[in-house]
Amino acid sequence: MKAFAQLFLSLDETNKTNEKVRVLKDYFLSVPDSDKMHMLALFTGRRPKRPINATLVRTWAMEMAHIPVWLFEESYQVVGDLAETITLLLPKSTSSSNKTLTEWIAEINAIATQTEEGRKQWLLSSWETLDTQERFVFNKLLTGGFRIGVSQNLVVKALADISGLDAATVTHRIMGNWMPENYQFADLVAAEGLSDDVSRPYPFFLAYPIQETSEKQKTAGELQVALGDAAEWQAEWKWDGIRAQLINRNGQIFIWSRGEDLATEKFPELHPFLKALPHGTVLDGEILSFKDGLPMPFNVLQTRIGRKNLSKKILEESPVALIAYDCLEHNGEDIRHKPQAERRLLLEQLQAATAHPDIFRISVLIGFNSWGELAEIRGQSRSMIAEGVMLKRKNAAYQVGRRRGDWWKWKIDPLSVDAVMIYAQKGHGRRADLYTDYTFAVWDGDKLVPFAKAYSGLSDEEIRKVDNFVKRNTLEKFGPVRTVKPELVFEIGFEGINYSTRHKSGVALRFPRILRWRTDKPMEEADTLETLKALL
Amino acid sequence: MFMAKKPLLEFTDRGIYCPVGRFYIDPWLPVDDAVITHAHSDHARVGHRRYLAHEYSEQVLRYRLGEIQLQTVPYGETLMKNGVQIGLYPAGHVIGSAQVRVCYQDEVWVVSGDYKVDDDGISTPFEPVRCHHFISECTFGMPVYRWKPQAETFAEINNWWRKNVENGLATVIVGYSLGKAQRVLQNLDLSIGKVYTHGVIENTNEALRRNGIALNPTHRITTDLAKEEIRKGIVIAPPSAVGSPWMRRFNPYDFGYCSGWMSIRGAKRRRAADRGFVLSDHADWDGLISAIDATGCEKVYLTHGYTASFARYLNEIGFDAHEVHTLYGGDELTAADEEIAPTQPPPEGEALVPDDESKVLPSGEDLGGAGL
Ligand SMILES: [Zn+2]
Ligand SMILES: [Zn+2]
């Protein structure tokens, strides 16, 4: 655990990419293999289940720190993070422990079945043996909010450097339905991949935006210069649903959403056609709510996803279907290296053979002969309930991650990101008494980086609610500005984005504004600086 | 018949006032007689007719406030003002910082100013003073603020510096120009390299040296200094230099921020520092409680920072504690604050930036907005 705590601290202590990679490699090279896998598991969101509920953890921490409840709550307001608050309040430890990360996680998993008294004794004596930095990561593990301050790219780079594998292979191999208890580091870095995880999806290929602002439309001439001959490209509508990968291997089916969540059970309507596909098939596509053969706006699907249980009513109101984009695996063979046009033919064959064409749909190709013609067609996106068009080079392979060159999205809406409010300031005039001016941040690793200030685009009722939240959740005050507990997520629209050395985020936005309050999104799901920079 | 006695010190809108002695302590509006606890800008303001302060504060006060009529006293010596006895006692906050003891007809009040209880190796260490009424700061009056021994923090700082020199990076350490800068200076491992200073800090160092304080050797940064030389040493800079062109010319550099706020990760991030070192010239939670307890006071009045929470806690553990609103430190910056800005321009680079860490500023970014 000492090494893991040190890793966390070292990553926190540097903003430099090379240094982060070095720290990661040092970590991987110095800990046992099982610890490596546990670290990767935590990094990829495979956290242990919470063995003790947060209320009990709080209560026992207060007991150990001899602090009244109200003072604990106020301390929490100051710190803004439960694990850190507890770490700062506990008295200094009296002994130390050499248990590895693997051993600690095994204990955390085992303790869940103990009596309350047993769990309490375990927790208090654990705290007793951990130093400040260890306590912090331990509390993070225990309370669930674990994030490591480093992007996936850097972890992949460190692993690739160590193993001699290429980054795309590593990215692929850390995906899937594994747990550190059943996936060995040796298998992860083996020269020849073992494909024993039938659930494992491929990394998604993501498109870059072709134009920076919605004001300055790209002309046909500019597209000709940027992309070349229109005949080399296929165009499709850009659908606003949930990007997903659907797998049938040996008759077992899996549905992965882009956030790398296994979402098989969330979409029962898709099971029959998926089960009927030839074994060894992987499809890439968009899941949307459909009614009477027409896609419905995203928020219809969104309410459905938010639900724990899919009631009959929801299934009736918001039935889903797949619009397939691509075929990544065919007859058990990874065909991502084949050209787009060839993969498209295989996809069309699969779709033509399905007995469920209403559910297994295919993303139709838009016929166009020139860029000018496509630009005109794009203007109809809204009536298609699409976000714009997608451009894919006909001879391109299916690549890993967001890359420039072969896939472009040509959206119609203003650019937007989901961001977390971190500062608030009072307004002017009529609203001089309300907090209406906000500063928003996106994630950079586990840090929130401010990138835009926007005045309210909210309704009066929403403003009152946000104002109330600000007043109850102020962490610090400086002059008229309050630092607010990061929690509320808003969709921020803007007209353009440019590099900026004056801003910590490295970008400056044109005309940022609040499009809506995303009460449905936890702050962990706000966008990242990477996403924002990808819009550049 | 019992008559309610007027208190010896009262809180007025000009500051803490002694009606019998007709003097103020750290007033924020111009007065005739001001007793100054220390030279930080939220305590020592321009515009008073007469100043009284500790002798070690003399040169810094003159440097910061210009022409003033100043009387100084050493620690422990008392003087009388309109029948009221005044004495200064070490507060351990910065060099020359004092608690003000006020005594009249056997009633004793002590105004702490800013203080810390740990010995920083350069300020005269804090001494508890017995009193009936204690006016205490509580900038860090929350239990999440507990400092580790400064030896540990300086070991971190020196290791960080050493590593930067090895990696060919310039090292810039940021702390307030009076207090933190000298504390850092005196605790650096000078076998690693030379110490370079920003002009504002060097001016303060020179004022202190004029006052007879022995400080380690420093080199003022000038434009003709070679980058390679600076990279072998360490640069001490004030917070106002962060992100400025002055600082960017050291590129590539690593910059560390010294402050008590650095004990919280969120605060550290907002500073965008490469490293945050937990180092404060204020008392931590345990320090505040032990200091207040050591005065044996009947009543304690709290200024600066988490006054409400800290007062509530003290009352729960048996003190008679009261919250007082002042214009010191962590309270919201009001319009009044700007109106009483110094009439003469403040020293280079420190315009309106409080030089005391009891005010948290945002990372100082202009995030633009519409029309950018
Ligand atoms: Zn001060
Ligand atoms: Zn102060």
**CA–CA min distance A24, chain B (Å):** 18
**CA–CA min distance B143, chain A (Å):** 6
Buried b (16+ CB within 10 A) or exposed e, B273-284: bbbbbbbbbbbb
Whether the predicted pLDDT of A410 surpasses 50: yes
Give ranges for CATH 2.40.50.140 in chain A.
Answer: 415-534
Tell me whether residues A510 and B367 touch, CB distance under 8 A: no
pLDDT (tens digit per residue) in B215-229:
999 999 998 889 899
Distances (CA, A) of B292 to A166, B96, B101, B137: 62, 21, 14, 10
* Predicted complex ipTM: 0.86
Q: How far is the CA of A389 from the centre of ligand 1 (A)?
A: 60
Peptide bond into A201 cis (omega under 30): no
Q: Is residue B5 part of a domain?
A: no
For A478, which of B146, B265, B360 is closest by C-beta distance? B360
For residues B132 and B43, membership in a common domain is answered with yes
Tell me whether residues B309 and A512 touch, CB distance under 8 A: no
For residues B123 and B81, membership in a common domain is answered with yes
Mutate one of B259, B261, B270 to test the A interface: name it (highest A CB count within 10 A).
B270
**Banded model confidence at residue B335, pLDDT cuts 50, 70, 90:** very low
Domain that holds residue B214: 150-277
Strands B84-90 and B98-104, bridge-based pairing: antiparallel
For residues B182 and B245, membership in a common domain is answered with yes
Domain count, chain B: 2
The phi, psi pair for A35, rounded to 5°, reads -65, -40
User: Stretch A394-406: mean pLDDT, rounded?
Assistant: 91
Strands B133-138 and B170-174, bridge-based pairing: unpaired
Buried b (16+ CB within 10 A) or exposed e, A323-339: bbbbbbbbeeebbbebe
Tell me whether residues B362 and A423 touch, CB distance under 8 A: yes
User: Stretch B163-173: mean pLDDT, rounded?
Assistant: 95
For residues B89 and B164, membership in a common domain is answered with no
Chain A residue numbers touching B329 (CB-CB < 8 A): none
Residue B12, beta-bridge partner list: B15
**CA–CA min distance A508, chain B (Å):** 7
The phi, psi pair for A451, rounded to 5°, reads -140, -15
Neighbours of A534 (CB within 10 A): 17
Most confident of A421-435, A477-491, B64-78: B64-78
Q: Which helix (H) or strand (E) holds A57?
A: helix A54-65
Q: Is residue B4 part of a domain?
A: no
For residues B272 and B289, membership in a common domain is answered with no
For residues B65 and B156, membership in a common domain is answered with no
Mutate one of A90, A425, A448, A476 to test the B interface: name it (highest B CB count within 10 A).
A476
Give ranges for CATH 1.10.3260.10 in chain A.
Answer: 2-143
Q: How far is the CA of B90 from the centre of ligand 1 (A)?
A: 13
The phi, psi pair for B76, rounded to 5°, reads 85, -20
**CA–CA min distance B341, chain A (Å):** 15
Six-digit token string for A183: 């996936």
pLDDT of residue B191: 97
> Nearest bound ligand to CA B91?
1
Chain A residue numbers touching B264 (CB-CB < 8 A): 78-80, 84, 88
Whether the predicted pLDDT of B204 surpasses 90: yes
Percent of chain A's residues with pLDDT above 70: 95
pLDDT of residue B368: 29
For residues B29 and B110, membership in a common domain is answered with yes
Chain A contact for B339 (CB, 8 A cutoff): no
pLDDT of residue A118: 95
User: Stretch A302-312: mean pLDDT, rounded?
Assistant: 78
Whether the predicted pLDDT of A367 surpasses 70: yes
- A415-534 domain in CATH 3.90.550.50? no
Whether the predicted pLDDT of B162 surpasses 70: yes
pLDDT of residue B362: 30
Chain A residue numbers touching B332 (CB-CB < 8 A): 477, 479-480
The phi, psi pair for A374, rounded to 5°, reads -65, -40
Tell me whether residues B333 and A78 touch, CB distance under 8 A: no
Q: Is residue B358 part of a domain?
A: no
For residues B18 and B132, membership in a common domain is answered with yes
Which CATH number covers residue B97? 3.60.15.10
User: Stretch A13-33: mean pLDDT, rounded?
Assistant: 90
Tell me how long chain A is: 536
Would you say B155 and B295 are in contact if contact means Cβ atoms under 8 Å apart? no
* Span of A60-74, A195-209, B66-80, B127-141 with lowest mean pLDDT: A195-209
Tell me whether residues A504 and B332 touch, CB distance under 8 A: no
Please give the DSSP secondary-structure letter assigned to residue A322.
Answer: E
Closest CA to A237 of A182, A193, A295: A295
- Alpha-carbon gap, residue A380 to A398, rounded angstroms: 28
**Banded model confidence at residue A383, pLDDT cuts 50, 70, 90:** confident
Q: Is residue B108 part of a domain?
A: yes
Contacts of B53 (CB under 8 A, 6+ apart): B35, B36, B37, B38, B39, B44, B61, B70, B71, B72, B88, B96, B98
Q: How far is the CA of A188 from the centre of ligand 1 (A)?
A: 56
Tokens 């390679």 sit on residue: B228
User: Stretch A267-281: mean pLDDT, rounded?
Assistant: 95
Closest CA to A478 of B48, B239, B286: B239
Whether the predicted pLDDT of A495 surpasses 80: no
Distances (CA, A) of B171 to A198, A235, A513, B125: 51, 53, 39, 29
For residues B141 and B285, membership in a common domain is answered with yes
CATH of domain A205-411: 3.30.470.30
Q: How far is the CA of B114 from the centre of ligand 2 (A)?
A: 5
For A14, which of B274, B369, B372 is closest by C-beta distance? B274
pLDDT of residue B207: 97
The phi, psi pair for B123, rounded to 5°, reads -85, 150
For residues B197 and B257, membership in a common domain is answered with yes
Whether the predicted pLDDT of B361 surpasses 50: no
Chain A contact for B269 (CB, 8 A cutoff): yes
Would you say A184 and A37 are in contact if contact means Cβ atoms under 8 Å apart? yes
pLDDT of residue A498: 76
Task: Please report the sign of the dihedral spanned by the C-alpha atoms of residue B43, residue B46, residue B50, residue B53.
Answer: positive
Tell me whether residues B267 and A510 touch, CB distance under 8 A: no
For residues B227 and B83, membership in a common domain is answered with no
Contacts of B330 (CB under 8 A, 6+ apart): A477, B139, B304, B305, B306, B358, B359, B360
pLDDT (tens digit per residue) in B283-333:
999 999 999 999 999 999 999 888 899 999 999 999 999 998 776 653 222
Q: How far is the CA of B82 from the centre of ligand 1 (A)?
A: 28
Q: Is residue B355 part of a domain?
A: no
For B143, which of A75, A479, A508 is closest by C-beta distance? A75
pLDDT (tens digit per residue) in A133-191:
999 999 998 987 677 768 888 899 999 999 998 888 888 888 877 889 888 898 888 87
Q: Is residue B244 part of a domain?
A: yes
Tell me whether residues B362 and A68 touch, CB distance under 8 A: no
What are the residues whose beta carbon lies below 5 Å from ligand 1 (ion)?
B 40, 114, 356
- Number of A–B residue contacts, CB under 8 Å: 100
Percent of chain A's residues with pLDDT above 90: 49
- Alpha-carbon gap, residue A133 to A12, rounded angstroms: 12
Tell me whether residues B332 and A78 touch, CB distance under 8 A: no
pLDDT (tens digit per residue) in A174-184:
887 788 988 88
Chain A residue numbers touching B306 (CB-CB < 8 A): 74, 78
Q: How far is the CA of B204 from the centre of ligand 1 (A)?
A: 15
For residues B18 and B137, membership in a common domain is answered with yes
Six-digit token string for B78: 């008392």
Whether the predicted pLDDT of B357 surpasses 50: no
Whether the predicted pLDDT of B336 surpasses 70: no
pLDDT (tens digit per residue) in B174-196:
999 999 999 999 999 999 999 99
Would you say A277 and A331 are in contact if contact means Cβ atoms under 8 Å apart? no
pLDDT (tens digit per residue) in A49-72:
888 998 999 999 999 999 999 999
Chain A contact for B338 (CB, 8 A cutoff): no
CATH of domain A2-143: 1.10.3260.10
pLDDT (tens digit per residue) in B42-62:
899 999 999 999 999 999 999
Would you say B238 and B200 are in contact if contact means Cβ atoms under 8 Å apart? yes
